[in-house]
Amino acid sequence: MAVRTMSLAVVGLNHEGRGDALRRFAHLGGTARVEREPGNLADGNAIAIRLAVNEAGGDKNWILVGYVAADRAAIVAPLFDREYFQNLRFVLRVDLQEGQTLPKVALDLTYDVEDGQPEKEMRAARATHLVAELGHLRWDNIEGVASGDKVSLWLHPDGDRIHVYRRGSIGGLGFLGSTPHRRLTRHLAKKQPYQATVHMAADRAWLTVRLDI
């Protein structure tokens, strides 16, 4: 039995007063917990971080402060779901420096490994789950799509960009955006199957893609 540690960036800290909760946590201490959210419409791989700050009175009020970054959650979430982490421990690091608007936050996971099985699963997940940022966004079409919707992908004949379309759209009418993701380009060039989902937040959009290999 060996012990492994991984560090995961936590994002989404600037929403709904989360920065205030993190600053109180940094000064007063408290309790953190990690929760998988497989039903999250924005990202089925979502891993949420919630805090209960040591406030006067002792009552615990759990506050959502952020999520594990999507590219890392796509790799780690399958391990949570399959319970491959043995004796899981975690530490939430909140780095609050003077002059910063928001602290930097990372989640350190420590777990036991037997025969390297979690590492094998993580390598497989990294090979079959991708996150790709979208550019050339068509917001007039995106407005008709909900975050978490399935989308179709089309490899441009030049082979340098992947176009993303609403499911069931005809021609270019449902064009949402494009990405030059090389690994995904190679997969589509081989006409291999995939499942793609689009996600939106503020002024950006991205894909999470599971490659069926």
DSSP 182: H
For residues 6-31, give the mean pLDDT: 82
pLDDT reported for residue 29 = 79
Amino acid, res. 40? N
pLDDT reported for residue 162 = 94
The alpha-helical segments, DSSP class H, found in 43-191 are 70-81, 117-128, 139-142, 182-189
Query: Cβ contacts of residue 32 below 8 Å, gap of 6+?
Result: 25, 49, 50, 51, 52, 90, 92
Q: Average per-residue pLDDT in the chain?
A: 81
Q: How confident is the model at residue 67 (pLDDT cuts 50, 70, 90)?
A: very high
pLDDT reported for residue 121 = 61
pLDDT above 70 for 110: yes
pLDDT reported for residue 152 = 93
Q: How confident is the model at residue 49 (pLDDT cuts 50, 70, 90)?
A: very high
What residues form DSSP beta bridges with 33? Answer: 50
pLDDT reported for residue 151 = 93
Closest listed residue to residue 151, CA positions, set 112, 204, 206, 196: 196
Q: How distant is the alpha carbon of residue 188 from its chain centre? A: 23
Query: Residue 154: how many CB atoms within 10 A of its CB?
Result: 14
Q: Which of 74-88, 127-141, 165-179 has the lowest mean pLDDT?
A: 74-88
Query: Model-level pTM greater than 0.85?
Result: no
What are the φ/ψ torsions at residue 67 (nearest 5 degrees)? -135, 150
Q: Which domains does the chain have, with CATH numbers?
A: 2-127 (3.30.70.2330), 134-211 (no CATH)
